[in-house]
C-alpha cells in the first residue's frame, strides 16, 4: 500500500476544493446538507445502505475494485444468523443502515464524507488489480480513535477524518460562528454548561454530531482538552 503524506493545510485545501466544486456558499454560511448529493455531483459513483456488521463496528465501506462484501440481514445478531454476499462495482460506497435509523444524521454525514475523501485521496492506495479491495471504516475510526492494523491505514484514516471535518465544518466559518456565539454570551471560557450548549448549537448548525464538533473546535484551537472532554 502506498499513501501520500499530506500536511494539515493540504488536507484543509482538499476539503475546500470539494466545497467549491459542490457548493461554495457553504464556505460562508451554514446550510442544510444532503451528503449523498456530494457523491452524485462530485464523484458519480454508486452508493447503497446495508447492515455491514451486526454490532455496528463498521459504519462505512468503499470498493476500490469490483468484488463483493458480506452484509447482514439485521442490525443485531441472533443465533444462527449468517451474512450474505453483496456484489459491488468499483467505486461503490456502502453506508451502514443503522445510521439512517434514529437520531444519527451527524454520524451519517461524517461517515459518508469520510468515504468520499477515501475516493478523492486514496484510490491509488488500493489499485492492485489482482485483489478485491473493500476498505472498511470502523466506528471507532470516525470519532477519533484509530482502529486499524498498519501504519499506512492509520495515516489514510486520519486523512479522511481531517478532510471530512474540514468539509462539514469549514475552518473560517466555524471560527466565525464560534466567536459570535461566545462573545454574545458574556460567560467566562470555563463555564461548562454554556460550552456544552454552544457545542450542541454548532453541531446542529453544521449538521454534525456533538462529538465531531467538539473535536473540530479543539483541533482549531478554540477549546481546550478539558472542554472537549465534557462530552465524553
Contact 95, 59 (CB under 8 A): yes
pLDDT over 70 at 53, yes or no: yes
At residue 11, the pLDDT reads 96
At residue 93, the pLDDT reads 95
Section 162-168 average pLDDT:
97
Run of H or E including 79: none
What DSSP line would sit under 5-66, residue for residue?
Answer: ---HHHHHHHHHHHHHHHHGGGGTS-----HHHHIIIII---EEEEB--TTS-EEEEEESSS
Mean pLDDT, the chain, whole residue set? 86
Q: What is the pLDDT of residues 66-95, one digit of tens each?
A: 888 899 999 999 999 999 999 999 899 999
User: Between residues 201 and 184, which one has the greater pLDDT?
Assistant: 201
Section 40-65 average pLDDT:
93
Run of H or E including 110: helix 105-121
Query: Cell digits for 7?
Result: 500536511
Q: Tell the burial category of 189 from Cβ atoms under 10 Å away from its Cβ (0-12, 13-18, 19+).
A: exposed
User: Between residues 186 and 162, which one has the greater pLDDT?
Assistant: 162
pTM score, whole prediction: 0.86
At residue 1, the pLDDT reads 44
Q: Where are the domains of the chain?
A: 8-168, 171-231
Q: What is the pLDDT of residues 110-159, one digit of tens each?
A: 999 999 999 999 877 765 544 555 566 655 555 555 455 567 778 888 99
Amino acid at each position: 500500500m502506498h499513501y501520500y503524506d499530506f500536511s494539515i493545510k493540504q488536507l484543509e485545501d482538499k476539503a475546500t476544493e470539494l466545497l467549491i466544486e459542490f457548493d461554495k456558499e457553504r464556505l460562508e454560511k451554514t446550510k442544510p446538507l444532503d451528503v449523498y448529493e456530494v457523491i452524485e455531483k462530485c464523484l458519480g459513483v454508486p452508493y447503497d445502505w446495508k447492515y455491514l456488521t451486526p454490532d455496528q463496528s463498521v459504519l462505512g465501506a468503499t470498493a476500490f475494485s469490483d468484488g463483493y462484501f458480506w452484509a447482514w440481514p439485521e442490525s443485531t445478531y441472533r443465533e444462527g444468523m449468517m451474512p450474505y454476499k453483496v456484489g459491488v462495482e468499483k467505486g461503490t460506497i456502502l453506508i451502514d443502515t443503522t445510521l439512517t435509523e434514529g437520531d444519527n444524521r451527524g454520524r451519517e454525514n461524517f461517515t459518508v464524507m469520510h468515504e468520499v475523501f477515501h475516493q478523492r485521496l486514496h484510490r491509488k492506495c488500493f489499485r492492485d488489480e489482482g485483489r478485491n479491495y473493500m476498505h472498511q471504516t470502523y466506528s471507532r475510526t470516525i470519532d477519533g480513535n484509530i482502529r486499524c492494523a498498519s501504519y499506512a491505514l492509520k495515516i489514510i484514516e486520519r486523512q479522511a477524518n481531517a478532510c471530512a471535518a474540514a468539509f462539514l465544518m469549514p475552518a473560517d466559518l466555524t471560527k466565525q460562528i464560534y466567536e459570535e456565539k461566545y462573545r454574545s454570551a458574556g460567560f467566562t471560557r470555563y463555564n461548562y454548561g454554556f460550552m456544552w450548549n454552544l457545542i450542541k448549537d454548532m453541531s446542529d448548525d453544521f449538521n454534525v454530531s456533538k462529538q465531531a464538533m467538539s473535536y473540530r473546535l479543539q483541533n482549531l484551537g478554540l477549546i481546550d482538552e478539558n472542554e472537549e472532554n465534557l462530552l465524553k
